[in-house]
Structure 1
Amino acid sequence: MTGRGAPSRFLAAVLGSGLGRSVRQLQRLQLLFSPAAPDARGARQFVEEAAAEFARRHPEVVLYVRPGGGPAPVLLAEYLNGTVREELIANKTSEEIAQLATKLANQSGLDIVRIRKPFHTDNPSVQGQWHPLTNKPIALLVRGPRLTPPPIKP
Protein backbone atom coordinates (compact mmCIF):
# COMPACT_ATOMS: atom_id res chain seq x y z
CA MET A 1 0.00 0.00 0.00
CA THR A 2 1.14 3.49 -0.70
CA GLY A 3 0.19 6.83 0.79
CA ARG A 4 -2.53 7.13 -1.84
CA GLY A 5 -4.33 4.10 -0.46
CA ALA A 6 -4.10 2.14 -3.71
CA PRO A 7 -1.84 -0.89 -4.03
CA SER A 8 1.08 -0.50 -6.41
CA ARG A 9 3.98 -2.60 -7.69
CA PHE A 10 6.70 -2.65 -10.30
CA LEU A 11 5.99 -3.98 -13.77
CA ALA A 12 6.63 -7.73 -13.96
CA ALA A 13 5.94 -10.52 -16.41
CA VAL A 14 3.62 -13.34 -15.44
CA LEU A 15 5.38 -16.73 -15.20
CA GLY A 16 8.88 -15.69 -16.15
CA SER A 17 10.25 -13.17 -18.56
CA GLY A 18 7.73 -13.73 -21.34
CA LEU A 19 10.25 -15.48 -23.56
CA GLY A 20 9.05 -18.43 -25.54
CA ARG A 21 5.52 -19.70 -25.79
CA SER A 22 2.72 -17.62 -24.36
CA VAL A 23 0.64 -19.41 -21.72
CA ARG A 24 -2.95 -18.33 -21.16
CA GLN A 25 -3.57 -17.82 -17.48
CA LEU A 26 -7.26 -18.78 -17.44
CA GLN A 27 -7.49 -22.46 -16.62
CA ARG A 28 -11.19 -23.13 -16.08
CA LEU A 29 -14.42 -21.24 -16.73
CA GLN A 30 -17.65 -22.44 -15.08
CA LEU A 31 -21.10 -21.24 -16.04
CA LEU A 32 -23.58 -21.91 -13.20
CA PHE A 33 -27.23 -21.10 -13.85
CA SER A 34 -30.76 -22.28 -13.16
CA PRO A 35 -32.51 -23.85 -16.18
CA ALA A 36 -35.85 -22.22 -15.32
CA ALA A 37 -34.95 -18.87 -13.72
CA PRO A 38 -35.99 -15.79 -15.73
CA ASP A 39 -32.75 -13.91 -14.95
CA ALA A 40 -30.72 -16.77 -16.53
CA ARG A 41 -32.20 -16.35 -20.02
CA GLY A 42 -28.96 -14.84 -21.35
CA ALA A 43 -26.93 -17.70 -19.86
CA ARG A 44 -29.16 -20.26 -21.58
CA GLN A 45 -28.83 -18.40 -24.89
CA PHE A 46 -25.05 -18.27 -24.43
CA VAL A 47 -24.96 -22.05 -23.99
CA GLU A 48 -27.13 -22.62 -27.08
CA GLU A 49 -25.50 -20.06 -29.39
CA ALA A 50 -22.05 -18.90 -28.32
CA ALA A 51 -20.48 -21.50 -26.00
CA ALA A 52 -19.22 -23.70 -28.85
CA GLU A 53 -17.71 -20.68 -30.63
CA PHE A 54 -16.00 -19.53 -27.40
CA ALA A 55 -14.57 -23.03 -26.87
CA ARG A 56 -13.33 -23.05 -30.47
CA ARG A 57 -11.59 -19.67 -30.07
CA HIS A 58 -10.05 -20.54 -26.69
CA PRO A 59 -8.99 -24.21 -26.82
CA GLU A 60 -6.73 -23.81 -23.77
CA VAL A 61 -9.69 -22.94 -21.49
CA VAL A 62 -11.89 -25.69 -20.08
CA LEU A 63 -15.54 -24.55 -20.19
CA TYR A 64 -17.94 -26.21 -17.75
CA VAL A 65 -21.69 -25.64 -18.07
CA ARG A 66 -23.56 -26.62 -14.92
CA PRO A 67 -27.28 -26.06 -14.92
CA GLY A 68 -28.51 -26.34 -11.37
CA GLY A 69 -30.62 -24.62 -8.79
CA GLY A 70 -28.57 -21.62 -7.75
CA PRO A 71 -29.68 -18.24 -6.46
CA ALA A 72 -28.31 -16.33 -9.47
CA PRO A 73 -26.39 -17.17 -12.65
CA VAL A 74 -22.64 -16.88 -12.14
CA LEU A 75 -19.51 -17.10 -14.28
CA LEU A 76 -16.56 -18.51 -12.27
CA ALA A 77 -13.03 -18.05 -13.64
CA GLU A 78 -10.13 -20.03 -12.15
CA TYR A 79 -6.60 -18.94 -13.05
CA LEU A 80 -3.26 -20.80 -12.92
CA ASN A 81 -2.05 -18.69 -9.98
CA GLY A 82 -5.03 -19.86 -7.86
CA THR A 83 -7.15 -16.73 -8.19
CA VAL A 84 -10.89 -17.32 -8.54
CA ARG A 85 -13.09 -14.55 -9.94
CA GLU A 86 -16.85 -14.68 -9.67
CA GLU A 87 -18.90 -12.53 -12.06
CA LEU A 88 -22.66 -12.18 -11.69
CA ILE A 89 -24.39 -12.53 -15.08
CA ALA A 90 -28.02 -12.10 -14.04
CA ASN A 91 -30.16 -10.35 -16.68
CA LYS A 92 -27.25 -10.12 -19.15
CA THR A 93 -27.58 -10.96 -22.83
CA SER A 94 -25.69 -13.71 -24.61
CA GLU A 95 -23.39 -11.14 -26.28
CA GLU A 96 -22.54 -9.48 -22.96
CA ILE A 97 -21.71 -12.88 -21.44
CA ALA A 98 -19.51 -13.73 -24.45
CA GLN A 99 -17.65 -10.41 -24.07
CA LEU A 100 -17.20 -11.01 -20.33
CA ALA A 101 -15.90 -14.55 -20.93
CA THR A 102 -13.42 -13.25 -23.53
CA LYS A 103 -12.27 -10.52 -21.14
CA LEU A 104 -11.72 -13.08 -18.37
CA ALA A 105 -9.81 -15.33 -20.81
CA ASN A 106 -7.45 -12.49 -21.73
CA GLN A 107 -6.66 -11.48 -18.13
CA SER A 108 -3.83 -12.84 -16.01
CA GLY A 109 -5.75 -13.31 -12.77
CA LEU A 110 -3.62 -10.77 -10.92
CA ASP A 111 -5.29 -7.83 -9.22
CA ILE A 112 -5.30 -4.61 -11.17
CA VAL A 113 -2.86 -2.27 -9.43
CA ARG A 114 -1.09 0.98 -10.19
CA ILE A 115 2.30 0.46 -11.88
CA ARG A 116 4.99 2.51 -10.16
CA LYS A 117 7.35 2.89 -13.13
CA PRO A 118 7.33 1.56 -16.70
CA PHE A 119 10.70 -0.11 -16.03
CA HIS A 120 12.35 -1.85 -13.09
CA THR A 121 15.64 -3.62 -12.51
CA ASP A 122 16.96 -5.62 -9.60
CA ASN A 123 20.50 -4.33 -10.29
CA PRO A 124 20.23 -0.56 -10.88
CA SER A 125 22.99 1.21 -12.80
CA VAL A 126 24.79 4.27 -11.47
CA GLN A 127 24.92 5.68 -15.01
CA GLY A 128 21.17 5.87 -15.46
CA GLN A 129 18.85 4.41 -18.05
CA TRP A 130 20.23 3.73 -21.53
CA HIS A 131 18.61 5.18 -24.65
CA PRO A 132 19.68 5.18 -28.34
CA LEU A 133 21.44 8.58 -28.18
CA THR A 134 23.52 7.82 -25.07
CA ASN A 135 26.93 7.46 -26.78
CA LYS A 136 26.31 9.40 -30.01
CA PRO A 137 28.53 12.36 -30.95
CA ILE A 138 27.07 15.78 -30.18
CA ALA A 139 27.21 16.73 -33.88
CA LEU A 140 24.43 14.23 -34.60
CA LEU A 141 22.06 15.73 -32.05
CA VAL A 142 19.39 18.10 -33.29
CA ARG A 143 19.98 21.54 -31.82
CA GLY A 144 16.93 23.31 -33.19
CA PRO A 145 15.91 25.05 -36.40
CA ARG A 146 18.47 27.03 -38.36
CA LEU A 147 17.54 30.64 -38.79
CA THR A 148 19.73 31.32 -41.83
CA PRO A 149 20.76 28.86 -44.53
CA PRO A 150 24.41 27.85 -44.44
CA PRO A 151 26.65 29.72 -46.90
CA ILE A 152 27.36 27.98 -50.18
CA LYS A 153 31.05 27.47 -50.77
CA PRO A 154 32.29 28.12 -54.36
Structure 2
Amino acid sequence: MSHSHLFLKSAFVKAPIQNGLGRYVCQLQRITVKFCKEHSDSKGARDFIENHVIDFAKKNPGIVVYLKPRRHRAPHIKLEYLNGETEILGIKCMSEHEVAQWLEVARGSSGQPVARLRKLQHTDHPSIQGVWTPWTNVPPQANVETFPSEAYRAPQREQSATERLQEIFRRQQQEQQQQQQAEPA
Protein backbone atom coordinates (compact mmCIF):
# COMPACT_ATOMS: atom_id res chain seq x y z
CA MET A 1 0.00 0.00 0.00
CA SER A 2 1.27 3.44 -0.84
CA HIS A 3 2.10 5.86 1.96
CA SER A 4 2.03 8.96 -0.24
CA HIS A 5 -1.28 9.99 1.34
CA LEU A 6 0.48 10.63 4.66
CA PHE A 7 1.73 14.01 3.45
CA LEU A 8 -1.63 15.22 2.11
CA LYS A 9 -4.22 17.06 4.13
CA SER A 10 -7.42 15.09 4.58
CA ALA A 11 -10.72 16.71 3.69
CA PHE A 12 -14.24 15.97 2.59
CA VAL A 13 -15.37 16.70 -0.97
CA LYS A 14 -15.99 20.43 -1.42
CA ALA A 15 -17.36 21.02 -4.89
CA PRO A 16 -18.83 24.29 -6.06
CA ILE A 17 -22.52 24.01 -5.25
CA GLN A 18 -24.60 23.03 -8.28
CA ASN A 19 -21.89 24.06 -10.77
CA GLY A 20 -23.18 23.01 -14.16
CA LEU A 21 -26.78 22.51 -13.07
CA GLY A 22 -28.09 25.75 -14.55
CA ARG A 23 -24.95 26.72 -16.39
CA TYR A 24 -21.27 25.99 -15.95
CA VAL A 25 -19.18 28.63 -14.19
CA CYS A 26 -15.44 28.30 -14.78
CA GLN A 27 -13.69 28.46 -11.41
CA LEU A 28 -10.45 29.87 -12.87
CA GLN A 29 -10.81 33.66 -13.00
CA ARG A 30 -7.36 35.18 -13.56
CA ILE A 31 -4.06 34.04 -15.05
CA THR A 32 -0.88 36.07 -14.65
CA VAL A 33 2.06 34.91 -16.77
CA LYS A 34 5.38 36.26 -15.50
CA PHE A 35 8.37 35.72 -17.78
CA CYS A 36 11.74 37.15 -18.78
CA LYS A 37 12.14 38.60 -22.28
CA GLU A 38 15.75 37.43 -22.62
CA HIS A 39 16.46 34.37 -20.48
CA SER A 40 16.35 30.91 -22.07
CA ASP A 41 14.26 29.43 -19.20
CA SER A 42 11.34 31.57 -20.40
CA LYS A 43 11.47 30.44 -24.04
CA GLY A 44 8.42 28.17 -23.68
CA ALA A 45 6.45 30.94 -22.00
CA ARG A 46 7.41 33.43 -24.72
CA ASP A 47 6.48 30.95 -27.47
CA PHE A 48 3.16 30.28 -25.76
CA ILE A 49 2.46 33.99 -25.59
CA GLU A 50 3.33 34.50 -29.26
CA ASN A 51 1.41 31.51 -30.61
CA HIS A 52 -1.37 30.47 -28.21
CA VAL A 53 -2.36 33.14 -25.71
CA ILE A 54 -4.77 34.97 -28.04
CA ASP A 55 -6.56 31.74 -28.99
CA PHE A 56 -6.75 30.75 -25.30
CA ALA A 57 -8.23 34.14 -24.38
CA LYS A 58 -10.81 33.93 -27.20
CA LYS A 59 -11.88 30.42 -26.19
CA ASN A 60 -12.17 31.42 -22.52
CA PRO A 61 -13.71 34.90 -22.30
CA GLY A 62 -14.41 34.50 -18.57
CA ILE A 63 -10.70 34.20 -17.74
CA VAL A 64 -8.57 37.34 -17.55
CA VAL A 65 -5.01 36.85 -18.84
CA TYR A 66 -2.24 39.21 -17.69
CA LEU A 67 1.31 39.19 -19.09
CA LYS A 68 4.12 40.59 -16.93
CA PRO A 69 7.67 40.67 -18.24
CA ARG A 70 10.11 40.43 -15.31
CA ARG A 71 13.85 40.77 -15.82
CA HIS A 72 16.09 37.94 -14.63
CA ARG A 73 13.34 35.99 -12.86
CA ALA A 74 12.21 32.40 -13.35
CA PRO A 75 8.97 32.16 -15.32
CA HIS A 76 5.80 31.16 -13.54
CA ILE A 77 2.04 31.40 -13.84
CA LYS A 78 -0.16 32.65 -11.02
CA LEU A 79 -3.66 31.14 -11.11
CA GLU A 80 -6.48 32.78 -9.17
CA TYR A 81 -9.77 30.95 -8.63
CA LEU A 82 -13.31 32.08 -7.82
CA ASN A 83 -13.14 30.65 -4.29
CA GLY A 84 -10.15 32.90 -3.44
CA GLU A 85 -7.47 30.23 -3.75
CA THR A 86 -4.27 31.05 -5.62
CA GLU A 87 -1.80 28.65 -7.14
CA ILE A 88 1.69 29.26 -8.48
CA LEU A 89 2.75 27.06 -11.39
CA GLY A 90 6.46 27.07 -12.23
CA ILE A 91 7.03 26.83 -15.98
CA LYS A 92 10.82 26.98 -16.06
CA CYS A 93 12.22 25.21 -19.17
CA MET A 94 8.76 24.03 -20.32
CA SER A 95 7.81 23.99 -23.98
CA GLU A 96 4.89 26.05 -25.29
CA HIS A 97 2.74 22.91 -25.60
CA GLU A 98 3.41 21.91 -22.00
CA VAL A 99 2.41 25.40 -20.84
CA ALA A 100 -0.80 25.13 -22.89
CA GLN A 101 -1.57 21.71 -21.41
CA TRP A 102 -1.04 22.93 -17.85
CA LEU A 103 -3.35 25.88 -18.47
CA GLU A 104 -6.02 23.48 -19.74
CA VAL A 105 -5.65 21.45 -16.53
CA ALA A 106 -5.95 24.62 -14.45
CA ARG A 107 -8.98 25.78 -16.46
CA GLY A 108 -10.82 22.57 -15.65
CA SER A 109 -9.91 22.38 -11.96
CA SER A 110 -11.96 23.76 -9.08
CA GLY A 111 -9.14 25.54 -7.27
CA GLN A 112 -9.49 23.38 -4.20
CA PRO A 113 -6.13 22.19 -2.84
CA VAL A 114 -5.29 18.54 -3.46
CA ALA A 115 -6.36 16.54 -0.42
CA ARG A 116 -6.93 12.93 0.57
CA LEU A 117 -10.69 12.46 0.41
CA ARG A 118 -12.35 11.15 3.54
CA LYS A 119 -15.49 9.06 3.62
CA LEU A 120 -18.39 9.38 6.03
CA GLN A 121 -18.45 5.62 6.69
CA HIS A 122 -15.85 3.25 8.07
CA THR A 123 -15.51 -0.50 8.33
CA ASP A 124 -13.04 -2.64 10.22
CA HIS A 125 -13.31 -5.39 7.59
CA PRO A 126 -12.98 -3.87 4.11
CA SER A 127 -14.04 -5.93 1.11
CA ILE A 128 -11.34 -7.89 -0.68
CA GLN A 129 -13.51 -8.51 -3.73
CA GLY A 130 -12.70 -5.26 -5.44
CA VAL A 131 -14.91 -2.97 -7.44
CA TRP A 132 -17.30 -4.44 -9.99
CA THR A 133 -17.21 -2.98 -13.49
CA PRO A 134 -19.10 -3.99 -16.64
CA TRP A 135 -15.85 -5.58 -17.88
CA THR A 136 -15.21 -7.71 -14.79
CA ASN A 137 -16.39 -11.03 -16.25
CA VAL A 138 -15.75 -10.37 -19.94
CA PRO A 139 -13.53 -13.04 -21.51
CA PRO A 140 -10.02 -11.80 -22.41
CA GLN A 141 -10.54 -12.70 -26.10
CA ALA A 142 -12.77 -9.62 -26.36
CA ASN A 143 -9.68 -7.42 -25.95
CA VAL A 144 -8.25 -8.41 -29.34
CA GLU A 145 -11.54 -8.91 -31.21
CA THR A 146 -12.40 -6.60 -34.11
CA PHE A 147 -15.95 -5.32 -33.75
CA PRO A 148 -18.57 -5.75 -35.13
CA SER A 149 -18.02 -9.47 -34.77
CA GLU A 150 -20.20 -12.51 -35.44
CA ALA A 151 -18.94 -14.16 -32.24
CA TYR A 152 -20.38 -11.36 -30.09
CA ARG A 153 -23.54 -10.70 -32.10
CA ALA A 154 -26.73 -10.82 -30.04
CA PRO A 155 -28.77 -13.97 -30.71
CA GLN A 156 -31.87 -13.54 -32.86
CA ARG A 157 -34.94 -13.50 -30.69
CA GLU A 158 -38.11 -15.37 -31.41
CA GLN A 159 -41.11 -13.59 -32.83
CA SER A 160 -43.22 -11.97 -30.10
CA ALA A 161 -46.95 -12.65 -29.72
CA THR A 162 -47.79 -9.17 -30.97
CA GLU A 163 -45.68 -9.66 -34.09
CA ARG A 164 -47.36 -13.03 -34.73
CA LEU A 165 -50.83 -11.47 -34.47
CA GLN A 166 -49.84 -8.65 -36.82
CA GLU A 167 -48.54 -11.18 -39.35
CA ILE A 168 -51.78 -13.26 -39.15
CA PHE A 169 -53.84 -10.07 -39.59
CA ARG A 170 -51.82 -9.07 -42.69
CA ARG A 171 -52.28 -12.54 -44.22
CA GLN A 172 -56.04 -12.38 -43.59
CA GLN A 173 -56.24 -8.95 -45.25
CA GLN A 174 -54.29 -10.20 -48.28
CA GLU A 175 -56.61 -13.24 -48.59
CA GLN A 176 -59.69 -11.00 -48.40
CA GLN A 177 -58.28 -8.70 -51.11
CA GLN A 178 -57.56 -11.71 -53.34
CA GLN A 179 -61.12 -13.05 -52.82
CA GLN A 180 -62.65 -9.64 -53.64
CA GLN A 181 -60.58 -9.41 -56.84
CA ALA A 182 -61.63 -12.95 -57.85
CA GLU A 183 -65.45 -12.48 -57.27
CA PRO A 184 -66.28 -9.76 -59.84
CA ALA A 185 -64.60 -11.71 -62.62
Q: TM-score, normalised on structure 2?
A: 0.57
Q: What residue is the counterpart of 2:63 in the other structure?
A: 61
Q: Give the one of 34, 43, 65 matched to 2:36.
A: 34
- Provide closer, same or farther for how the CA distance between residues 7 and 93 of structure 1 changes in structure 2, counting only shifts above 3 A: same
Corresponding position of 1:126: none
| CA contact 2:8–2:114 (8 Å) conserved in 1 | no
Task: Give deviations 1:12-61, integer Å, cap 9, x for gaps.
Answer: 431x2333122111110010011011111111100110111111221111
1:106 maps onto 2:108 in alignment: yes
Q: How many residues align?
A: 116
1 or 2 for the larger relative contact order (CA 8 Å, sep ≥6)?
Answer: 1
Give the conservation status (yes or no) of the 8 Å contact 2:15–2:110.
no
Q: Identify the residue that residue 43 of structure 1 maps to in structure 2.
A: 45
Amino acid of the structure 1 residue aligned with 2:104: T
Q: Distance in 2 between matches of 1:43 and 1:79?
A: 21
Pick the structure with more helix per residue: 2
Q: CA–CA distance in 1 between the matches of 2:67 and 2:50?
A: 11
2: CA distance, partners of 1:105 / 1:74: 16
> Aligned equivalents of 1:8 and 1:66: distance in 2?
35
Q: Give 1:111 deviation, angstroms.
A: 0.9
Shift of 1:68: 2.3
Give ranges in structure 2 of 5+ residues lacking alignment: 1-5, 122-185
- What residue in structure 2 maps to residue 83 of structure 1? 85
* Identity percentage of aligned residues: 35
Q: What are the ranges of 5 or more consecutive residues in structure 1 without an aligned counterpart?
A: 121-154
**1:60–1:37 distance in 2 versus 1, CA, 3 Å:** same
Amino acid in the other structure paired with 2:28:
L
Counterpart CA distance in 1 for 2:50 and 2:7 is 44
| Aligned residue in 1 for 2:157 | none
Q: Which residue is equivalent to 1:17?
A: 18
How far the C-alpha of 1:116 sits from its partner, in A, is 2.2
Q: Which amino acid aligns with 1:73?
A: P
Q: What is the identity, as a one-letter code, of the residue corresponding to 2:82?
A: L
Deviation digits for residues 70-128 of structure 1 (CA, Å, limit 9, x no counterpart):
420111101111111111111110000000111111111101122223x89xxxxxxxx
Moved over 3 A (4+): none
The amino acid that maps onto 1:59 is P
